[in-house]
Structure 1
Amino acid sequence: MSNKELGIVVNLNSSYTDFQFNPYTITCFLAFAPFVYIIPTFIIVFRIIRKFLRNVFRKKDPSFNRHVFIVLVLSQFSNIGFFLADLFVMRVPSTGMMTSWCYRQEPNEFLKILFISQSYFNYCAMLYPVLFSIIRLVITYLPNRHNDINTKILKYSIPLIHIWPLLFNLYLIPALGVCRQHFAPYKLGAVYVHIINSWRGMMGAPFTVLNSAVWLTVCLILNWILYRKLRELKSLSQSSSQTSQINKNRTIEISLSITTFAMLSAYIAHLIFLGAFLIDYDVATYLVVIRPFGFDLELCAAPWVFYLTHPAFRKRKDSKIVVAANKKTIKSVDY
């Protein structure tokens, strides 16, 4: 795809000399409207992290699995990193807030770093649902050894997850960052951060679509295997007398299953938006308007589902212990 097809480069372009930012536009509303649900989601993510730290360093909850929480927390850090990078690559520039600044800048490394940051966190966020599914499979198939096995899996997989994106950004080493003008329905001054002079003119969209398709397929296969195993275990447990523990384990599995499928939403968003970009850029420019809401789905859905359904976050009404002294009830204490 040529530079013309990607949009006019704004940097040092005289067409933007007299551009003035107008905050009262629909693009400004669409860019900042997501904060209505993003801020509460950050609070939920903070509570999940706090629960994780409390169980690691202090109180031990029987429904708490350290490896599940580690992967979920790291996944959310990647999603937050992608959101913050995307904020300055796509959302804020589309409002026109950065246009005058971009016009005064030559193509530079700073804009390239913003672009690479978005791509880097994007790839990381893609891989954590796969790791989440693998951790669950090990817990289900090897319940007596899952702690040791999952510890080893995380020891090697987490560094690999953060190395993997670097391989798909090597083509950006000679590139420079620029701001490009959006096509219709956006107006003059609505821009986005992109690159020029990449190695052999390569683009990242084909790599992203390929990764999305591959990792989505892997996730679906892993979860299908897990689903069949859970059905088998469910049929075996129906005759068991440990009804309360079985119900609790089932509640945890349902919570993790819904959370897993919420995490898969990012793959769908990439396949739709970037697939359209590769097939017909004119169509893709209209999808860009709703793109932020699609990419926010995983960031918001996964932590909310996990927080609202996992037993670790439910307040338990335990029995009251009555302390007696000298045949008098002193106080009823809740634990």
Structure 2
Amino acid sequence: MEESIHGLQEYIEFQYTFTFSTVLAVIPILYMTPTIVVMFKIFMSCRSPSHWNHAHSMNHNIYIIIMLYFLFNTLFFLSDFIRFSLPTTGILTSWCASIQPNHFFKIIFFLTFYFNYCILILPFLLCLIRLVILFYPKDHPMICHKIMTFSIPFLFLIPFCCTAFMIPALGYCRQMGPPLHFGATYLYYSGGWFGWRNSYIHLVMSIVTCSLTVLCSVLMVWKLRQSAFNNSSARTKQQSQRAETSLSITMISFVIPFINNTILTAVYLTIPSWVYYLMIFRPFGNDCETIMMPWILYLTHPMFRKKTTVRQSSAVSTIRATSSPIL
């Protein structure tokens, strides 16, 4: 167990003091609290029976994916906070050092990456559903139903397959290096099956899911521009431009965590001594997508605007009926 602090007297006698690590741990709570409130407002708005009869109601499949996305993002934030942000403050260092490596710490690490893999898959699934709706406006209910029936079980199965090698492992508290202070730790694992490393699996999953999501998003941009070009309605062009802008912002939001984690993994595998400098900014990079997706939906989707003028146009209706945080 490399860099383990368990049983070491200097860590058992460690006394917590307020440092910059505590500030870094508190900042995410400040921006995640209103974000969770927005997530709850979206959930409650969509639960209303009148919502589904509204001109701007959300597609049922998109609604399910968005709610799952909100759920897994919240669970990932909480588990990652316990695994990384809280231990770096030094509050748990003395307690951690006084107990043996155990499965409880392993479960926290396991769940953090299980939820993270779910978050990697859901944007692609959301983009795929949106793509089907845009390309097959008449047949999309049947096609989307088949996609959801097939993909939802795999949404839970694939992350488990990616993390199952940790089942026999033990979790332990690991000392962080400079520039973080003495006593700053985080949870890690040791003793997984076949000697597999989570960093390689996470890197491959990130590249695959991000590439597929970007591909679907590019196809959606092309379809939106084509629809706007073929329709002379100024209102339709305006709606298409707004959808494209929202899509571009959201693409940036899920590419930032990918770049953040890819660079961190590459440095960890090649120059381990530098990785702790990047770890300071890692939580903020991961939170970009968590924050931006619900706020984009809440601020741009027509169903959250109190005063809206509905214009009866088939092209406009198509765009509105398929509104999502991606558009």
Compute the TM-score of the two structures, normalised by the length of structure 2.
0.88
Written as runs of structure 1 = structure 2, the 5 A alignment for 1:64-75 is: 64-66=57-59, 67-75=61-69
Q: Per the alignment, do residues 280 and 253 of structure 1 end up closer, same or farther by CA in structure 2, a change over 3 Å counting?
A: same
Residue 53 of structure 2 aligns with an amino acid whose one-letter code is K
Q: Report the CA distance between 1:142 and its aligned residue.
A: 0.3
Residue 298 of structure 1 aligns with an amino acid whose one-letter code is E
Deviates more, 1:138-147 or 1:148-157: 148-157
Q: Per-residue CA shift, 1:78-113, capped at 9, x if unaligned?
A: 111110000110000001111111112111110010
8 Å contact kept, 1:259–1:302: yes
Unaligned runs of 5+ in 1: 320-335
Q: Per the alignment, do residues 197 and 10 of structure 1 end up closer, same or farther by CA in structure 2, a change over 3 Å counting?
A: same
SS at match of 2:172: strand
2-structure distance, mates of 1:275, 1:131: 27
Residue 276 of structure 1 aligns with an amino acid whose one-letter code is V
1-structure distance, mates of 2:238, 2:141: 22
Residue 207 of structure 1 aligns with an amino acid whose one-letter code is I
Q: Report the CA distance between 1:18 and its aligned residue.
A: 1.2
2-structure distance, mates of 1:130, 1:272: 21
Unaligned runs of 5+ in 2: 311-327
> 1:312 corresponds to which residue?
303
Written as runs of structure 1 = structure 2, the 5 A alignment for 1:100-115 is: 100-115=94-109
> 1:11 corresponds to which residue?
6
> 2:20 corresponds to which residue?
26
> 1:147 corresponds to which residue?
141
Task: Give aligned-pair identity as a percent.
Answer: 32
Q: Report the CA distance between 1:256 and its aligned residue.
A: 4.8
Q: Per-residue CA shift, 1:196-233, capped at 9, x if unaligned?
A: 11223322011111111111111121122222222221
Aligned: 1:259 with 2:250? yes
Written as runs of structure 1 = structure 2, the 5 A alignment for 1:196-275 is: 196-238=190-232, 244=235, 247-248=238-239, 251-252=242-243, 254-256=245-247, 258-275=249-266
2-structure distance, mates of 1:32, 1:154: 38
Residue 287 of structure 2 aligns with an amino acid whose one-letter code is D
1-structure distance, mates of 2:245, 2:303: 13
Compute the TM-score of the two structures, normalised by the length of structure 1.
0.86
Q: Per the alignment, do residues 188 and 142 of structure 1 end up closer, same or farther by CA in structure 2, a change over 3 Å counting?
A: same
Residue 62 of structure 1 aligns with an amino acid whose one-letter code is A
Aligned length: 309
2-structure distance, mates of 1:59, 1:47: 16
Instruction: Supply the RMSD in Å over aligned alpha carbons.
Output: 2.0
SS at match of 2:48: helix
8 Å contact kept, 1:175–1:198: yes
1-structure distance, mates of 2:260, 2:78: 17
1-structure distance, mates of 2:40, 2:251: 19
